[in-house]
Amino acid sequence: MKLIFSTITILYLCTFGTNCLAQENINQFDAQGKRTGVWKKYYNNKRIRYQGQFEHGKEVGVFRYYSAKSSKHPIAIKIFKKNSNQATVKFYTLEGVLKSQGAMEGKQRVGKWLYYHPNGKTVMSEENYTNGVLNGESKTYYKDGKVTEILHYKDGKLHGNLKRYASNGVLLDDLNYKDGKLNGLAKYYNMDGKLIYTGIYKDDVKEGKWEFYENGKPASVNKLKQ
């Protein structure tokens, strides 16, 4: 009996010690007071908030983030590299459907980002960021993959040419922006791709003569107030 008791006691202590050791290896700091090893954080309702690994205070490898409502699927997955401040990121719905993906530096989006239609497979839009601000070309798409809009940004404002298309691929609007406002030549087309009117904008206001068309031919000229 003593032998059996001793064996049970040893097994219990070994198991208890292993569990304690495992717990002690989570949420640790190194000698410099920086986070190291595996870290897990929880919401007040005890659901997991995130899990990942640190080396000398820096995130490395895969981090998974969860909603306080559900722990079934992560709502974000970030993959960090040792020698970079950037992370590749994917955002998901509570049901685990992909919403968007791209790169982040801290909390700021950088480079190209893709956003998806509700099916999580078809791209809805693609945008380009610099330090969290829209810059360069952006596109949006219909569900069948056809382009619905092509526009350009500079420092977060519309700047440059903008084109909008019907679902059949016909060009509808051909506009130009400067610092977030309509400026320059504008052309509008009907669903058959025929020009219906054109003119000049200055700071979002129509300026000068605007020409109107019927069946692709000039119909009238309207002198607009400047």
Question: Which of helix, strand or coil describes residue 10?
Answer: helix
Statement: residue 221 has pLDDT above 80: no
Higher pLDDT, 217 or 133: 133
Q: Which residues contact 216 (CB under 8 A, 6 or more apart)?
A: 194, 195
What percent of the chain lies above the pLDDT cut of 90? 81
- Banded model confidence at residue 19, pLDDT cuts 50, 70, 90: very low
Q: Burial of 150 by CB count in 10 Å (0-12 exposed, 13-18 middle, 19+ buried)?
A: middle
H or E segment and range at residue 88: strand 86-92
Question: Per residue in 65-102, pLDDT tens?
Answer: 999 999 999 999 999 988 888 999 999 999 999 999 99
Does 15 have pLDDT greater than 70? no
Distance CA 171, CA 100 (A): 27
Q: How confident is the model at residue 23 (pLDDT cuts 50, 70, 90)?
A: low
C-alpha span between 87 and 50 (Å, rounded): 15
Cα gap 149→138, rounded to integer Å: 8
Q: Which residue has the tokens 């400067």?
A: 178
pLDDT (0 to 100) of residue 219: 86
Instruction: Identify which of 177, 176, 178, 170 has the alpha carbon closest to the alpha carbon of residue 195.
Output: 170
**Residue 73 structure tokens:** 């699927």
Report the C-alpha gap between 99 and 27 in whole angstroms. 30
Q: List, in order of start, the domains of the chain with CATH numbers.
A: 159-226 (2.20.110.10)
For 159-198, the pLDDT digits (tens) are 999 999 999 999 999 999 999 999 999 999 999 999 999 9
Query: What integer is the mean pLDDT of 101-114?
Result: 97
Q: How far is CA 219 from CA 59, 137, 198, 199, in A?
A: 65, 35, 12, 14
Extract the runs of DSSP E, i.e. beta strands, from 122-204.
Answer: 123-130, 133-134, 136-141, 147-154, 157-158, 160-165, 171-178, 181-182, 184-189, 195-202
What pLDDT was estimated at residue 83?
A: 85
Distance of CA 187 to the CA centre of its chain: 31
Q: Give the model confidence (pLDDT) of 37-58 as tens digits.
A: 999 999 999 999 999 999 999 9
Of how many residues is the chain composed?
226
Beta bridge partners of 175: 162
